[in-house]
Amino acid sequence: MKSVTASCIVCACLGLLASEASAQLFGGDNNKWERILLEIKKLNTRIVEKVIPQIDRINSDIKKIKIEISRVKTEVRNVRSGNNNLSEQIDTLSNMIPGIQSSMEQSQVRAMQQIQALGKRLEQLDAIKQEVATQLGSLKDSMAKDMEQIAELNQGAFQGLIKSNEKHLRNQNARVDKSIAIMTEMAKGGANTSEALAVLQAGLVENSKARSEQNKKIIDILSKSLKEQQAAAIEIDALGGNQAKSDENVRYARETMVALKGILDKRLAEIDKTQQALQAQNDQAMQDADLIKQNLQITDQKINKLAEGLQAIHNQGIDTTKSMLTNASEVNQKIDENRAEVKLTSEKITKLIEILKAIAEKQGKLEQLLASQGGKGGNKQLMDVLADLKRKANVNISRNDRILKKLKGSR
């Protein structure tokens, strides 16, 4: 505003000077022209000191704004790249989840198959137990019949021996009953084994030990019974040849006991093998269950990490968006302020150019007036001063035009 005021003052002075020059056709006041030149120099100095630095500052602010915009664009690209990487990780995890689910389903199917196989094994064990119990019952009935026949044949002379044999047979029957009770306990142990297998080998080892002890007891009982039968056979052999049928019955009983012992040994061996197979299958089922549990734990950890990463990226995106919005508002504010300053400067320079053009026009008229009055010494000196002033004014006009174009280009 000061430069505009000074320009107006210069124009007024030039007008007065022109009036005085027209009034005084010859001669003039050189001090006035010097003051005019001094004011023009001050005006140029103000333009150089204030307007040009302001333009440079505006250009610097514009460069900073461009750098800030470039940085914001870079941050946007980085955020987009992070989102792409996150999408790739999510796709990878999504592709892994069906494989994990498939392996879990396969493990569950294998576990169900093993449980079904264990059930079939238990059914086979129950069938074997029933078969052994049936054979023991038939052996008991056969031995009772044999003893009745021996009692009928030896009712007379061998009454004492028969009583002894009856006592022995009662003891043997008691042992057989005990064996049946043991087999019943084995059946109960089998039921306990089924329950233990249902809870994955909770009592399989204890049941196996109990069965081994029971089997040993059965073998001991059968061995004692066989020895007693052999002793009875020796006693019967000592009584004479009329006991041939009794010997045959005793031999049959002994052979039956031996056959039963062989069957029991075979069945016990099969039971041991079955128990070992069940143990191995149960161990495999436990390993599969542990593997499934580990896979589930790993999956849970990965899902938790993925959720944490998603939350962090979401928060980072929110912060970046807020920062971008804040920076954008600040940048827009700075741009608006710079535009206002540029507009004001452009208006000032435009007015200055108009003032300089008016001054140049006044100078032209003054030169024409002086030229029409003739080239006297004073007028010639004044014309030289006016020519120099016009040249400087043209320089200022061209300079201000360049500044104005530069400001318009920066907008």
Report the pLDDT value the prediction gives residue 27, as an integer from 0 to 100: 42
d(CA 6, CA 14): 12
Report the pLDDT value the prediction gives residue 84, as an integer from 0 to 100: 72
3-state secondary structure of 158: coil
Of 282, 234, 262, 315, residue with least CA distance to 117: 282
Are the beta carbons of 295 and 100 closer than 8 angstroms?
yes
Write down the pTM of the prediction: 0.29
d(CA 158, CA 236): 10
Cα dihedral 165→167→171→176 (10° resolution): 60
Report the pLDDT value the prediction gives residue 8, as an integer from 0 to 100: 42
pLDDT digits (tens, 9 = 90+) for 264-314: 677 767 777 776 777 777 677 677 767 767 776 776 676 677 667 666 665
Tokens in use for 73? 């664009």
- Chain centre distance of CA 303: 4
Q: Give the phi and the psi of residue 64 in degrees, each rounded to 5.
A: -60, -40
pLDDT digits (tens, 9 = 90+) for 180-205: 565 556 555 545 544 545 555 555 55
Report the pLDDT value the prediction gives residue 41, as an integer from 0 to 100: 79
DSSP type of residue 26: S
| Burial group, residue 179, by CB count within 10 angstroms (0-12, 13-18, 19+) | buried
Of 400, 358, 352, 371, residue with least CA distance to 14: 358
Domain chopping of the chain, boundaries: 2-92+317-410, 104-311
Run means of pLDDT, 10 residues per run, the chain, 411 residues: 42 44 45 79 76 77 81 78 70 69 72 73 72 64 64 57 62 61 55 52 60 65 64 58 57 67 72 73 71 72 68 64 63 69 72 72 70 58 68 73 68 57
Cα dihedral 372→374→379→383 (10° resolution): 60
The identity of residue 119, as a single letter, is: G
d(CA 307, CA 299): 12
3-state secondary structure of 25: coil
Are the beta carbons of 410 and 58 closer than 8 angstroms?
yes
Report the pLDDT value the prediction gives residue 11, as an integer from 0 to 100: 46
Task: Please give the C-alpha separations between residue 63 and each of 60, 334, 339, in angstroms, as whole numbers.
Answer: 5, 12, 14
Are the beta carbons of 75 and 324 closer than 8 angstroms?
yes
Helix, strand, coil share (%) of the chain residues, nearest 5: 95, 0, 5
Count of CB atoms situated within 10 Å of the CB of 344: 12
